[in-house]
Structure 1
Amino acid sequence: MTDPTLMTDLARLDFGWITTMHILYPPLTIGLASFLLYSEWRWMKTDNDEWYRLTRFFEKLFIINFGAGVATGVTMEMSFGILFAPFSQAAGPFFGNILGYETITAFMYEAGFIGLMIFGWGKISKKMHLFATFNVAFSSMLSAMWILVANSWMQSPTGVHLEKGLFLVDDWTAAIFNPNFLTAFPHMFIAAIEIGLFFVAGISAWMIYKNRHAQMFMRTLTASLMALVIVAPLQVYIGDELGRTVAEHDPAALAAMEGHWHTYNADGTPNTSWNLVAWPDEEKGTNTFQIGIPHVLSLLEDHKWVSTVKGLDQFKPEDRPPVLAPFYAFRIMVAAGGILMLVAFWALYLRYKGKFNALELQRRPWFLRAVIFSAILPYVAIWTGWWTREIARQPWIVHGMMRTSEGVSQMSISAEIAWFIGFVFFDLVVWIGAWYFFSKVVRRGPDMHEEIIHGVQGEGLHLGQLPERDAPEGRPLFERPAI
């Protein structure tokens, strides 16, 4: 007989792998599309050919990332039915509709305009091409919005009731704009912008470090890091708001994230401490050791010097989430976000001192190395943030309404393992392929010999019309961008 606990753990592990690999790509798609919109706008505004070459260079990286995201997204959609068939059936009236809205209003929308963005250079006017890029950026944001609606509803299910094994929708507005979504979506959207900016900054810093088109890449390095001076602190603020939402609607998850076992009275005896480090002992319901800072947990979760913060002792053992993984994943996420903010402020300081130019930065290789290294940290933050979010919701797949064990498909252990091996193999092939092409594009750098395609200004240009100019001898007038 199949062990239900083992089956649940294997399904969670399998889906955890799938989402961990998939989440590498969509945030960068959102952030990089937004940056492409900016860089193309700068080219139109300044008519500076360097902005054109930078836009085409980062567009190639965008295409690779977009393709990898689509491929891994297909496996994630499959895994709902394969690994969590009872949940998919029960949540279909809401969850299935939301994923359908994402496909119709975002994915198909994006698919239409991405063709214009990639292949429309020189075939449509500059303004029309910028409009296509805008729609790619906007539709990628819409896609993230619908996905966060579905996931946030699992965190704070509102507007539905469970009847005869189905989640029936009573109020679509309440279900879509559930409490968790209102802070989780801004947090994820800003994370996507941040990962895109640091991706651009990291590659730009690498080019300057290697003295390859250093003056040109100072444009993208400056634009990205100066934007991060605002974006990085904003992410910290929104993260704090999301933490307060979790404290209100899922206090068990918050207690697990903080390694907070015992509820103290609001009079502060003893004080509510924030654990900097700890080693949770889930069997005994306490921490083996901890280093805490008094009052900080109250300040973080309630913005008061003294307040009551629920501990895990307020919940039945079977309703408590795991503690060790979300506790340390949360701290790694916070540390990564703090480092990213410091790097942005370091750049601001150098610019204030008049040292933010290619020559001065090449004399400060540690700064360039820090920016290059920082390009990895947003991925670390997104990974650990997502793990915190999903693990701390356990043992619920829909918080308070359906347990994960109730939503898992009934299959043999051998079948589950076979699916896991298949998903691991597929995602690794996509990941290796994506990084191979990433590195190939970066090694080649921008095409400095490509003829600038200025398009046609005016109202009379329609799709399919070509600007009247002669092609170079032996070369087609329009070529598909090489990757």
Structure 2
Amino acid sequence: MLENSLSVFLSRIDFAWITSFHILYPPLTVGLATLLFFFEWRWMKTDDEKWYRLTRFFEKLFIINFGAGVATGITMEMAFGILYGPFSQAAGPFFGQVLGYETITAFMYEAGFIGLMIFGWGKISKKMHLFATFNVALSSSFSAMWILVANSWMQTPTGVTLKNGVFQVTDWVSAILNPDVMFGFPHMLVACFELALFFVAGVSAWFVLRKRHIEIFARPLRYALLALVVVAPLQVYLGDGLGQVVAHDQPAALAAMEGHYHTYNKDGSVNTGWHIVAWPNAKGDGNAFAITIPHVLSLLETHTWTGKVPGLDTIKPEDRPPVVVPFYSFRVMVAAGMFMMLVAFWGGWLALRRRLTAARIAQNPLFLRVVVFSAFLPYISVWTGWWTREVARQPWVVYGLMRTAQGVSHMSVPLEVFWLVGYMAFELMVFGGTWYFLAKVIRKGPDLTSPVVQEGHQMLGHIEEPKHHEPAQPEYPRPA
């Protein structure tokens, strides 16, 4: 029994390690692909060389990040079969199909156009290249959609029935459009855009602080901050909507996220406060201490002053998730999101005062340093948001239908340790290499010397035929 529980724990740690590193890369791929399309469109629209230089510079960063995402993504798919074989077999009729849809409609679709985007400069027409960039952005968003469909189904499984140990699909529409995905996918997609915008803003602010290429990087910084004025509050709104879904369909997860143990007060009344900080007691049936704001949790989840929010006392002890990780990771995510929204509003205010122009932007060193610092916050937010989502679902791998202990592969502890060490080494190698090359490209800066590419001489469907010349005829002296 002890070995079995240790094996389950190691499987969870192993997969948590793999997903925690993989989740760093796809959001930037999705968001930055869209920004590359915008940069390239602006170049074609204005014929301004600066937009071309920006496109080629950020495309290099995109390629590095994309490669890391592919490497860690393939590793994660391998881990499903290695670490969670019984789950993969049971959920195959739905989960496997959805991952297949992602491969066909997103991964292969993206692979078909990313080659044109990277290697097509000067070889295909400008419009065709812009079309390729658009399709890379669109296909990466499709990929995020299918992955969120699969994960959301694990949170709120609908449209299936568990029969003879296998999830059989009874309603594909209900399974794909499960309750969680309706807010879960938009929340993740907007997170991708927010991360990419802060990434571009942070890199641009770094160049401006060092007074390098200010004329070039002032514009993406200004555009990114103005976009964030809309994107950052939208993300908060979508997060609130997702919280409502969790409250309705996963009451145990919400109670763990809020450290909420008791549905009613001792006198039988309802005053569901929101804990700023808290720590579970030794028995695990309450908080040893907590700093609480009265009524706030009721306002957040029921939008009423004394609305009832079910606590962990309504959940059987064996079905209760851990509290500490989702409680504090959720608060870190919220704090990071609020800080990013304030930075966006600060940037919008500076833009209104015309202090983000190329001539004046360097006069805001404090703001620029804050923007550089904020470039890392979306990564922290995505990380902690993912931990909140996955840990709060425990002890279920498919919420309410299959326990994690039932879904893990039956491996010995030494074999679990072997895979854990191997995956840790691989993910750290990819992580170190990715940030080394990203930093190297950023330090070098954009290429300002190579000629701007023009229309390709060999366009798709318009390959020029080689010209054949008749051999010159020798001249003979004419007869007198």
Shorter-chain TM range is over 0.9
Q: Which residue of 1 aligns with 2:475?
A: none
TM-score, reference length from structure 2: 0.94
Task: Write the distance in 2 (CA, Å) between the matches of 1:467 and 1:42.
Answer: 33
Three-state SS of the structure 1 residue aligned to 2:306 is: coil
1:168-179 pair list within 5 angstroms: 168-179=168-179
Aligned-residue offset at 1:466: 7.4
CA distance in 2, matches of 1:467, 1:176: 50
CA distance in 1 between partners of 2:389 and 2:462 (Å): 47
Counterparts in 2 of 1:28 and 1:466: CA distance versus 1, 3 Å: farther
Superposition deviation, residue 373 in structure 1: 0.4
Distance across 2 between alignment mates of 1:466 and 1:449: 29
Deviation at 1:363, TM superposition (A): 2.4
The answer for the alignment partner of 2:191 in structure 1 is 191
Show the counterpart of 2:476: none
Q: Does 1:212 align with 2:206?
A: no
Q: State the partner residue of 2:276.
A: 276
Question: Radius of gyration: which is bigger?
Answer: 2
Residue of structure 1 in register with 2:94 after alignment: 94
Name the SS for the 1:240 alignment partner. Answer: helix
Instruction: Please give the per-residue CA displacement for 1:180-201, whole angstroms capped at 9, x wherever unaligned.
Output: 0111000000000000111100
CA drift of 1:461 comes to: 3.9
1:236 aligns with 2:242: no
Counterpart contact for 2:10–2:416, Cα < 8 Å: yes
- Deviation digits for residues 214-240 of structure 1, max 9, x if unmatched? 111011101111100000000000000
Question: Do 1:209 and 1:368's aligned partners in 2 also have CA atoms closer than 8 Å?
Answer: yes
> TM-score, length-normalised on structure 1?
0.94
- Percent identity, aligned pairs only? 63
Q: In structure 2, what is the equivalent of residue 129 of structure 1?
A: 129
> 1:448, 1:467 → 2: CA distance?
34
Matched AA of 1:25 = Y
Does structure 1 conserve the Cα–Cα contact (< 8 Å) formed by 2:219 and 2:358? no
SS of the residue corresponding to residue 230 of structure 1 reads helix
Unmatched runs of 5 consecutive residues or more in structure 2: 467-480
Cα RMSD, aligned residues only: 1.7
Distance 1:340 1:248, change over 3 A: same
- Alignment partner, residue 34 of structure 2: 34
Cα shift at 1:152:
0.4
Which residue in the other structure is 1:366 paired with? Answer: 366
> What are the within-5 Å matches in structure 2 for residues 127-166 of structure 1?
127-166=127-166
Letter in 2 for 1:315: I
Please say if 1:445 is aligned against 2:438. Answer: no
Determine helix, strand or coil for the equivalent of 1:179. coil
Contact 1:268–1:307 under 8 Å retained in 2: no
CA distance in 2, matches of 1:456, 1:112: 19
Q: Kindly indicate whether residue 417 of structure 2 is the aligned counterpart of residue 417 of structure 1.
A: yes
How far 1:16 sits from its partner (Å)? 0.1
Aligned to 1:379: 379
Whether 1:257 aligns to 2:291 is no
In the alignment, which residue of structure 2 is the partner of 1:291?
A: 291
Aligned to 1:334: 334
| C-alpha deviation, 1:454, in angstroms | 2.5
Residue matched to 1:473: none
Give deviations 1:309-356, integer Å, cap 9, x for gaps.
000000011000000110000000000000100111111111122211
**In 1: Cα distance, 2:344 partner to 2:176 partner:** 35
Give 1:472's aligned residue.
none
- Contact 2:270–2:308 (Cα < 8 Å) also in 1: no
Aligned to 1:475: none
SS of aligned partner of 1:57 = helix
- Offset from partner CA, 1:155-202 (integer Å, 9 cap, x none): 000000011110000000000000001110000000000001111000
